[in-house]
């Protein structure tokens, strides 16, 4: 099979032919039809995650995976309802099945978690072995290139917004800001409208082009922040919504300067959920967080239940996409474009 592999960190992926992997009796073999390209892939290639976990090469990146079932292991139970040829998405976060997080369904934060695309097999290859319990059947009318990003870019902000909602941070008398309108942010805008209980949604970004996409996807207001101070943003926000601070913030970038700006505009009792990590450190005043009784939500990817809900929204036609499809042999070229933040929406590699 064709595969794009990390043989050495901080160098381009090596595109080569390697054997199709075998599967264990409780696994399925997924024939990859499409795989989304994520900033995490760039960070992986550039060695960022080596500071948090040892991931020895060779590594096949790619974790936004969809395709068809090519083969089913002998121990996969019939009640799973899987058959060769089924269209599936691959759920992230393969847990050990016995820890307390797995027991409540949060396999993606299992302390012994395995991740597709962060080890020997990933979606930048024609086939990948997957534990059967981590594939989700999807409707065959859905396009593979639109399904792939939903397993991360379309999943991660969904779970984070559910956290803000369940904590009481959304409502018709609240204002929610979505900071960063890239691959995740374009979905976050749509989920904020779906889950926001009537809260006005304000998109905040540097790029006018991306802000126009946010407007297309339902943002009630847009604010361009390039070259503006916190006070400038507060004035624009008050003109648009009647208040100069956000009751809830969905941060899809995690860039240091943007986080400083966002925290300075978070209201008393506000909720802040971050799913991005362009930066790796934040430096914000502590007293306003404590005195204002603000809540910071870390949210990481999502579990099978979250992904199943996203797939239901997709099947009902409630999710729109901004997709750039690319060929396998242009992966390195597009990794460079992502590194330079020059891709609008989500790049998706298709075989």
193 and 256 co-located in one domain: yes
273 and 344 co-located in one domain: no
- Find the mean pLDDT for residues 294-304: 95
Range of the domain at 282: 156-298
- Find the mean pLDDT for residues 326-337: 97
190 and 67 co-located in one domain: no
- Categorize the per-residue pLDDT at 6 as very low, low, confident or very high, splitting at 50, 70 and 90: very high
Domain count, the chain: 2
Rounded percentage of the chain residues whose pLDDT exceeds 70: 100
- Categorize the per-residue pLDDT at 85 as very low, low, confident or very high, splitting at 50, 70 and 90: very high
The SS3 assignment for 185 reads: helix
pLDDT digits over 224-282, tens only?
999 999 999 999 999 999 999 999 999 999 999 999 999 999 999 999 999 988 877 88
**CB atoms near residue 39 (< 10 Å):** 21
Q: What is the pLDDT of residue 344?
A: 82
291 and 323 co-located in one domain: no
- Least Cα distance to 40 among 113, 116, 107, 91 occurs for 116
| Cα radius of gyration (the chain) | 20
Q: What is the pLDDT of residue 5?
A: 98
pLDDT digits over 129-183, tens only?
999 999 999 999 999 999 999 999 999 999 999 999 999 999 999 999 999 998 8
Q: What is the 3-state secondary structure (H, E, C) of 65-131?
A: EEEEEEEECCCCCHHHCCCCCCEEEECCCECCCCCHHHHCCCHHHCCCCECCCCCCCCCCECEEEEE
207 and 239 co-located in one domain: yes
161 and 138 co-located in one domain: no
pTM equals 0.94
pLDDT digits over 116-134, tens only?
999 999 999 999 999 999 9
77 and 111 co-located in one domain: yes
284 and 337 co-located in one domain: no
CATH number at residue 10: 3.90.180.10
- Least Cα distance to 128 among 157, 105, 148, 111 occurs for 148
- Least Cα distance to 266 among 253, 247, 282, 242 occurs for 247
Tokens of 133: 């319990």
Q: What is the pLDDT of residue 310?
A: 98
């Amino acid at each position: 099979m064709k595969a794009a592999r990390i043989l050495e960190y901080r160098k381009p992926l090596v595109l080569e032919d390697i054997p199709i992997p075998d599967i264990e009796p409780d696994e399925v073999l997924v024939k990859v039809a499409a795989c989304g390209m994520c900033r995490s892939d760039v960070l992986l290639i550039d060695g960022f995650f080596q500071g948090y976990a040892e991931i020895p090469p060779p590594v096949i990146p790619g974790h936004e995976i969809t395709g068809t079932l090519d083969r089913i292991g002998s121990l996969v139970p019939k009640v799973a309802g899987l058959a060769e040829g089924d269209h599936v998405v691959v759920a992230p976060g393969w847990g050990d099945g016995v820890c307390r997080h797995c027991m409540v369904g949060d396999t993606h934060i299992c302390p012994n978690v395995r991740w597709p695309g962060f080890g020997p097999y990933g979606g930048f290859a024609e086939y990948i072995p997957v534990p059967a319990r981590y594939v989700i059947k999807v409707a065959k009318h859905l396009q593979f290139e639109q399904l792939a990003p939903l397993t991360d870019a379309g999943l991660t902000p969904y779970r984070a917004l559910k956290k803000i909602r369940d904590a009481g941070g959304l409502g018709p008398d609240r204002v929610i800001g979505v900071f960063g309108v890239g691959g995740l942010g374009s979905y976050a805008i749509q989920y904020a409208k779906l889950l926001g209980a009537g809260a006005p949604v304000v998109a905040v970004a540097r790029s006018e082009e991306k802000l126009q996409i946010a407007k297309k996807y339902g943002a009630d207001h847009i604010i361009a922040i390039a070259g503006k101070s916190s006070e400038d943003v507060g004035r624009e926000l008050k003109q648009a919504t009647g208040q100069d601070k956000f009751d809830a913030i969905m941060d899809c970038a995690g860039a240091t300067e943007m986080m400083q700006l966002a925290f300075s505009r978070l209201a008393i009792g506000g909720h802040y959920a971050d799913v991005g990590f362009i930066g790796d450190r934040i430096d914000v005043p502590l007293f306003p967080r404590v005195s204002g009784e603000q809540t910071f939500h870390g949210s990481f990817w999502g579990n099978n239940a979250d992904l199943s809900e996203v797939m239901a929204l997709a099947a009902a036609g409630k999710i729109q996409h901004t997709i750039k499809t690319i060929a396998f042999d242009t992966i390195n070229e597009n990794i460079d474009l992502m590194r330079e933040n020059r891709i609008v929406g989500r790049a998706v590699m298709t075989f």
